[in-house]
């Protein structure tokens, strides 16, 4: 399988990877969730070449993850704003953060807080019916066919 064929694969993971799997893309999204919305802000935070940053931002716009808007406070400058599609990637990044804290760091570098009550949160999956926390060995993925109901 070639990288440019991921968008047409009959697999949601492959198609998602076609949008967020390029080098630097997840870190650009991390910056967006940190309220960094400007080209120069991304450049300063990430230190990647301008041409690479420009290409990644263009791809994220084409994929509907970011929207480029004129910044009314700074003439001729733009903000890159997460769309709903982009904001819906937040659980992906939070899960990556939790995994990285557990397996890649000696101690966490960030804490995610619930803004309404101040509680520290760690993303976890729960069954919507019984409300039990889901462990990997307690789940299975079932392929949906044309004849099977969702």
- Alpha carbon distance 44, 56 (integer Å): 15
User: Domain for residue 48, yes or no?
Assistant: yes
Domain range for residue 22? 3-138
Q: In terms of pLDDT, which residue wins out, 109 or 27?
A: 27
User: Domain for residue 117, yes or no?
Assistant: yes
User: Domain for residue 86, yes or no?
Assistant: yes
User: Domain for residue 110, yes or no?
Assistant: yes
Q: E strand or H helix at 86, and its extent?
A: helix 84-87
Look at the chain and report how many structural domains it folds into.
1
Mean pLDDT of the residues in the chain: 92
Kindly report the CATH number assigned to the domain that includes residue 61.
Answer: 1.10.10.10
pLDDT higher than 60, residue 67? yes
User: Domain for residue 149, yes or no?
Assistant: no
Q: What is the pLDDT of residue 3?
A: 80
User: Domain for residue 150, yes or no?
Assistant: no
Query: For residue 139, what are the CA distances in angstroms to 34, 89, 103, 135, 148?
Result: 32, 22, 22, 7, 19
* The pair of three-digit structure tokens given for residue 26, joined into one six-digit string: 């997840």
């Amino acid at each position: 399988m070639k990288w440019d064929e991921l968008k047409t694969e009959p697999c949601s993971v492959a198609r998602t990877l076609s949008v967020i799997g390029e080098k630097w893309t997840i870190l650009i999204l991390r910056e967006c969730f940190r309220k960094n919305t400007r080209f120069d802000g991304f450049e300063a935070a990430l230190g990647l070449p301008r041409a690479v940053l420009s290409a990644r931002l263009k791809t994220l716009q084409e994929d509907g993850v970011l929207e480029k808007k004129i910044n009314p406070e700074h003439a001729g400058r733009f903000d890159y704003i997460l769309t709903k599609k982009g904001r819906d990637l937040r659980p992906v990044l939070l899960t990556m953060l939790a995994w990285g804290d557990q397996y890649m760091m000696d101690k966490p570098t960030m804490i995610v807080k619930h803004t309404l009550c101040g509680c520290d949160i760690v993303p976890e999956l729960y069954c919507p019916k019984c409300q039990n926390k889901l462990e990997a060995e307690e789940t299975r993925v079932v392929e949906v066919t044309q004849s099977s109901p969702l």
